[in-house]
Amino acid sequence: MVNRFKILEITLEGGERLPVLLAPDGTLPFLPAYYVMSMCRPRDSANTITVKLTAIKILLEWAALNEIDLKERFRSGKMLTGSERDNLLHACRLHFNTLMALQQTTVVKLGGDAIKTVNNATAAQRIHYIAHYLNWMGSELIKNIDRSRPEFGQLHKVRANFVDELRLRAVRRIGRSQSRSNPPRGFSKKVQDRIVEVIVPGHPDNPWKNAFVQIRNQLYITMCLAFGLRIGESLCIKLQDVRLSGNCPRIEIVRRPDDPEDDRNPAPQVKTLPRPLPLNSNQEKSWTPLIHRYLTNYRRRLKKARNHKFFFVARNGEKLSYSSAISILKTLRNVSGIPDDLTQHLVRHACNERFSENAEALQMSADDVREARRQLMGWGPASRMPELYDQRFIQNKAHEISMEMQEDFFINRKLK
């Protein structure tokens, strides 16, 4: 098995990390490299660029495996046949190791047993990035053609139709990564109360024995429950971002792409917009005791923690790693009453459900709820995520109303 293409991460002057795609001979293919520099580098983190290049790598591996010259196909106005598009979609559903193993054959098989696949969201993401790349590639290949010439209009139409058809087939065969019929779901208030109960230091069901770990994890999980933090956001918080004094106590979520002070691998990234997260300053319900106890009684006493400014640290004082952050909620799954699929992303969904419930209690308008949610979660104006969470809440309310209507029929009317 020959690994035709590789993704390599290089470090530029100033500490910026830049992923690049290498051809089998070790050179940089021009179009993928130009795509990264012109379309990705100005706006994406190194991690996001890697994800996009992985999709492009799958496309190029698949094309090489099936002896398809994408540029020549486009210039000839043929692009891919229907069966080739389905074949590509199938390749995007394969686990990468499986895809590499299939390079030993002459075609990518559409069937077969025991083929390891990725989930629908990952497959849909790959297709999305491949379609974006091919759409860009088509634009680049025709931009030097005189717009008045017939072939310009023909190739422009070929490009648009091909990308639209590819996306349509992806929806039919793979499905949407997040549909309105299946909006994000978190967990109940009862589960949240159970989590808050068992993470109290000294609780008999607390799964951690070390005192420092109990203190840190209580603060970490409480922040995630309160603000719906992504893993990258929580790990990128620095000491100067936590502001307890002044009229507006807050935690600042700050984007620091390719932070030279962060040598973790993989390095966590803030994918959302920078924003302040307000801290409750009520004397009886304040964050201050939790944060001061963690910083003063534990973090400051760890020698290695004095060498960096990141807020959450490991037991030895080093920056808390990505894998260690994942293991926090993974360990919590072993506690009775905690979902066995608990992840920080699930906590983020639950935070949004609590947000909807509180917004309803405050009688906020739908538009105000959507904009407030967008601000709290750090989503951009074009993001559809606020609408999806609104849809989840609407579904729950519809369920409650339906149950009340049924109760009226079967209980109050005493139907037999």
* Sequence-ordered list of residues with C-beta below 8 angstroms from that of 259, at least 6 positions apart, any chain: 15, 236, 267
Residues 167 and 97 in one domain: yes
Residues 20 and 69 in one domain: yes
Q: What is the DSSP string of 47-64?
A: HHHHHHHHHHHHHHHHHH
Boundary-marking domain end, from 108, 139, 173: 173
Boundary-marking domain end, from 140, 173, 206: 173
The residue type at 167:
R
Distance CA 132, CA 56 (A): 10
Boundary-marking domain end, from 153, 173, 193: 173
Judge whether 146 lies within some domain: yes
Among 46, 6, 10, 41, which Cα is nearest to 26's? Answer: 6
Reply yes or no on whether the pLDDT at 12 is more than 90: no
Judge whether 23 lies within some domain: yes
Residues 107 and 36 in one domain: yes
The percent of residues above 90 in pLDDT, for the chain, comes to 42
Give the neighbor-by-neighbor strand order of the sheet with 275-278. 242-243, 250-253, 275-278
Read off φ and ψ for residue 367, nearest 5 degrees. Answer: -65, -40
Q: What's the CATH number where 314 sits?
A: 1.10.443.10
Residues 146 and 204 in one domain: no
Reply yes or no on whether the pLDDT at 324 is more than 90: yes
Judge whether 10 lies within some domain: yes
- Output the pLDDT for position 201: 97
- Output the pLDDT for position 284: 59
Within 13 Å, how many C-alpha atoms sit on residue 194's CB side? 15
Judge whether 222 lies within some domain: yes
> What six digits make up the tokens of 243?
């502001």
Q: Read off the pLDDT of each residue in 52-62 and give the average, rounded to a whole number.
A: 94
- Output the pLDDT for position 38: 92
Among 298, 302, 107, which Cα is nearest to 290's? Answer: 298
Residues 110 and 169 in one domain: yes
Q: Which domain holds residue 128?
A: 6-173
Taking only the tens place, the pLDDT of each residue in 201-251 is 999 999 999 999 999 999 999 999 999 999 999 999 999 999 998 888 999
Of 74-83, 100-109, 362-371, 376-385, least confident by mean pLDDT is 100-109
Residues 138 and 230 in one domain: no
Reply yes or no on whether the pLDDT at 172 is more than 70: no
Residues 255 and 392 in one domain: yes
Residues 120 and 250 in one domain: no
Reply yes or no on whether the pLDDT at 64 is more than 80: yes
Q: Read off the pLDDT of each residue in 71-100 and give the average, rounded to a whole number.
A: 83
Judge whether 178 lies within some domain: no
Confidence of residue 259 (pLDDT cuts 50, 70, 90): confident
More confident residue, 262 or 3: 262
Confidence of residue 272 (pLDDT cuts 50, 70, 90): confident
Residues 41 and 167 in one domain: yes
Residues 257 and 358 in one domain: yes
The tally of domains found in the chain comes to 2
pTM for this structure?
A: 0.66
More confident residue, 226 or 142: 226
CA distances from 76 to 155, 167, 283, 353 (A): 9, 21, 71, 51
CA angle 281, 287, 288 (to 5 degrees): 85
Judge whether 142 lies within some domain: yes
Judge whether 232 lies within some domain: yes
Residues 68 and 200 in one domain: no
Judge whether 1 lies within some domain: no
- Output the pLDDT for position 175: 57
Confidence of residue 327 (pLDDT cuts 50, 70, 90): very high
